[in-house]
Amino acid sequence: MVAVAKYGGVIAACRKTDCVYVSIKSSDPLSEHICFYSNEGKLINKLKFEEKDKIVGFDFIDDELLLIVMESGTYYLVEPYS
């Protein structure tokens, strides 16, 4: 899953939890994390995200906060730089 902030801002990426991946390298940062990249492709930050529920919404809101909505209705607002 990928979300891009407005005006060439931060890019967020994570693995979909409802898919099976055959060849995952143990060094792959997306295996257990949400990764934040600059628009140049440099890793800015990564956040360990161990929620067992399925992600149904994944996008940035106007304040460059990442909104993550879970299937259960729970949501998280994540600051990419902290």
For the stretch 30-81, pLDDT in tens is 557 888 999 898 999 998 887 778 889 999 998 889 999 999 999 999 999 8
SS3 52: coil
Q: What is the pLDDT of residue 21?
A: 43
- Sign, CA dihedral 39-36-56-68, equals negative
> What's the number of domains the chain is made of?
1
43-48 and 33-37 beta bridge pairing? antiparallel
SS3 70: strand
User: By residue range, what is the domain housing residue 31?
Assistant: 2-78
The structure's pTM equals 0.77
